[in-house]
Amino acid sequence: MDITATDEWRALVEHHRVVGSAHLRELFEGDPDRAGRMTGRVGDLHVDWSRHRVTDETMRLLVALAERAGVADRVAAMFRGEHVNTTEDRAVLHVALRMPSGEELVVDGQHVVRDVHEVLGRMRGFAEQVRSGEWRGHTGRPIRAVVNIGIGGSDLGPAMAYTALRGHSDRDLTLRFVSNIDPTDFAEATRDLDPAETLFVVSSKTFTTLETLTNAGVARDWLLGGLGADDSAVAKHFAAVSTNTDAVREFGIDPQNMFEFWDWVGGRYSLTSAIGLSLMVAIGPDAYDEMLAGCHTVDEHVRDTPLERNVPVLLGLLGVWYRNFFDAQTHAVLPYSQYLSRLPAYLQQLTMESNGKSVGADGQPVATATGEVYWGEPGTNGQHAFHQLLHQGTSLVPVDFIGFGEPTHDIGEMHDLLMANMFAQAAALASGRTAEEVAADGTPDHLVPHKVMPGNRPSTVVLAPRLSPSTLGQLVALYEHVVLTQGVIWQLDSFDQWGVELGKVMARELAPALTSAEPIELDQDAATTASVAEYRRMRGRSA
Ligand SMILES: O=P(O)(O)OC[C@H]1O[C@H](O)[C@H](O)[C@@H](O)[C@@H]1O
């Protein structure tokens, strides 16, 4: 189906002509009740979309588009375990990772929920052993540091969640993350660690990823070298999280220390699979369970709520509204929480690897723009850096503000000041400041145009009572389902990522040309050949 040829799409094009030119000031003046009405609740999250350039009619038309595109059917198909990842012919069941143990879901002959809870039980036992000091390293000392080695979805989720939930973590345990093949990452993460007290968790869905396997090999050498031990020490200092048992065994990690997940969990959707193992060690199994329950709350909401009240669906549709009808290229996520500093990076993979595509699930070129560029930083820091462009730049950037009622650390009035800034930013973006208002302050004429704030810049405000494992899980699931909604509208397979493959293959091909001590003949394009030659000169290798 060409979505742009549907009546629903055409109605939105028409509607955009009218609403697209209205200012948010007018929309609020003409309809002051919108502030209370254009809100929704999902779990503990209070979501306010009143500062969007929409009317009730816009939302009705967007929901009609979602109906036409089949969002509800796709959500249901995903929950049933149908192979909605069509190019890889796989089910997409991250929602099953959060289902309570009593639930029954059999997909492709596998008792999915039963298997999930079997692994969760093993993870719990492992995490408790490490946290209590019962788990001993090769020399008999307890583990004091856990290093997660993984990249992409095998890094960003647990790293983001650990940063977010540090306030809930065991402060006597150090948790570090190594992802990059840049050797500085490993060197910095381990420089002050004692091998006798260090445990590595090698996390990789495929267990073939160059960066992760290289870092894992370096970690093994670091460990054995530091302990002066042979391979027998590996079992007490390495665990693995993967779908690939054979490769884990081949690496030398005891399959007893392997925690499994399945091909129906996409890498960027894998935080709540065994990929969360290092996080569970840090925050403990009970807090981890709370995070899963938080996700499940939102999963149930997306599955059971009619589209017109379905919060993740509505937020996904608002993204479509700006991407396709206002030609917005980017989407800023601005958590007013230092603990959420890694959330934008996490969401970059979730959203951009899922929906950054120009071919539809049917193999045909897409009919619309797709994939918003997600970016962001915590507030208030961003205010003193890039908010200038948000307020006065020529690009329209829809913003998600995320804030909390209660602080994790209550110090004087700091949290109130933080939140005052968040509300002020949302208000300033929406209303702006007219030339008359600026001039009325006594601003000299020549400065008036510089101080005018156009306003009419849309934002969503998400408020949660506090940053807890549960509300973090709710935020994660909220965005997962935003991505799903948009992928259905754009007719994409949001669960594959073929676009990352070519660069990997080329890097493998190029590597020998960089490392070879002998002169080399490069069969590459002129620019690559020149870059490699320059690099080899810097490394003192002959051209
Ligand atoms: O978990 P792994 O198999 O090691 O994969 C790690 C990452 O690498 C790939 O390049 C994919 O683009 C990501 O989706 C994935 O999360």
The mean pLDDT of 265-287, rounded to a whole number, is 98
Instruction: Give the distance (Å) from ligand 1 centre to CA of residue 76.
Output: 26
Whole-Å CA distances, 380 to 141, 205, 243, 299, 376 = 43, 36, 40, 31, 11
Specify the residue with its C-alpha closest to ligand 1, atom 4. Answer: 204
Whether pLDDT at 296 is above 90: yes
Strands 459-464 and 45-48: antiparallel
Is any atom of ligand 1 closer than 6 Å to the C-beta of 152?
A: yes
User: Would the pTM of this model clear 0.80, i.e. be above it?
Assistant: yes
Q: How far, in Å, CA of 319 to CA of 52, rounded?
A: 10
Q: Could you tell which of 85, 154, 480 is best to mutate to test the pocket of ligand 1, judged by most ligand atoms within 8 Å of the CB?
A: 154
Domains of the chain in sequence order: 24-84+305-491 (3.40.50.10490), 94-288 (3.40.50.10490), 505-539 (no CATH)
Q: Is 504 a catalytic residue?
A: yes
The pLDDT > 90 percentage for the chain reads 98
Instruction: Give the distance (Å) from ligand 1 centre to CA of residue 210.
Output: 10
Residue type at position 293 = A
Share the mean pLDDT of the chain. Answer: 97
Q: How far, in Å, CA of 71 to CA of 65, rounded?
A: 9
Catalytic residue among 104, 384, 413, 521: 384
Instruction: Give the distance (Å) from ligand 1 centre to CA of residue 380.
Output: 32
ipTM of the complex: 0.98
Q: Could you tell which of 259, 262, 500, 501 is best to mutate to test the pocket of ligand 1, judged by most ligand atoms within 8 Å of the CB?
A: 500
Beta carbons of 71 and 488 less than 8 angstroms apart: yes
Residues in the chain: 543
Q: What is the pLDDT of residues 373-393, one digit of tens each?
A: 999 999 999 999 999 999 999
**Predicted local distance difference test score (pLDDT) of residue 519:** 84
**Predicted local distance difference test score (pLDDT) of residue 369:** 98
Q: What is the pLDDT of residues 398-451, one digit of tens each?
A: 999 999 999 999 999 999 999 999 999 999 999 999 999 999 999 999 999 999
Catalytic residue among 211, 260, 290, 353: 353
Specify the residue with its C-alpha closest to ligand 1, atom 16. Answer: 153
Q: What is the pLDDT of residues 155-196, one digit of tens each?
A: 999 999 999 999 999 999 999 999 999 999 999 999 999 999
- DSSP secondary structure string for all residues of 332-347: EEEES-GGGTTHHHHH
**Predicted local distance difference test score (pLDDT) of residue 522:** 86
Q: Is 353 a catalytic residue?
A: yes
